[in-house]
Amino acid sequence: MPLKGEEGAVNKRDPVGRVAMTLLGQNIPAVGPKFTNRERALRMALYYIKTVDDIIGPPCCGSSGYSVGFIKNKDGSGTLFFKGKEKTLDTRCCFDELLLKRFQKVYKKGIFILTCFFEDGDKLECLALTEGLGVVIYGPCLPG
């Protein structure tokens, strides 16, 4: 089911393909899919925010608990997921083996940001940095 919007809506069942990672602040990894269409990147970032908010629930009710990890694929890559008690967000962010190793190496503080990236030629824009769109995730990340 496509996210609401005009042409270029993001279908949440489609694989997103390429994934990017950058380090923000004091080496906090920001990871997520790369898009060549800025509107699609914005829509997916908003979808991540809303879905994670739905999984965790309102702050007044206490945290429902969640886990974050990688589902190991046959080719050695790993797909990032975010799981609550009743709902799971399959980010469809497929980390190849090299990016997965790089992520695990910098994921030492137990925090990362799930966001999206916009790629325009040789420029890569991290929406967590430029638009403030991303989900800050604390806790251990289960290995693939």
Q: How far is CA 85 from CA 36, 54, 69, 76, 89, in A?
A: 34, 11, 15, 27, 11
Q: Which one has a higher pLDDT value, 71 or 115?
A: 115
The reported pTM is 0.81
Q: What is the pLDDT of residue 134?
A: 96
User: Does residue 140 carry a pLDDT above 70?
Assistant: no
Q: What is the pLDDT of residue 11?
A: 47
CA pair distance 144, 128, nearest whole angstrom = 25
Q: What is the pLDDT of residue 141?
A: 62
Q: What is the pLDDT of residue 7?
A: 35
Q: What is the pLDDT of residue 105?
A: 86
Question: Looking at this protein, which amino acid is placed at residue 115?
Answer: T
Model confidence over 24-54: pLDDT tens digits? 988 899 999 999 999 999 999 999 999 998 8
Show the tokens assigned to 135. Answer: 């989900």
Count of CB atoms situated within 10 Å of the CB of 50: 13
Model confidence over 93-110: pLDDT tens digits? 888 888 988 888 888 778
Q: Is 45 left (phi over 0), alpha (psi -120 to 50) or beta?
A: alpha
Task: Report H helices in 9-126.
Answer: 38-56, 97-106
Q: What is the pLDDT of residue 4?
A: 37
Give per-residue burial for 77-97: e unless 16+ CB within 10 Å, then b.
bbbbbbbbeeeebebbbbbee
- Closest by alpha carbon to 28, among 142, 129, 131? 129
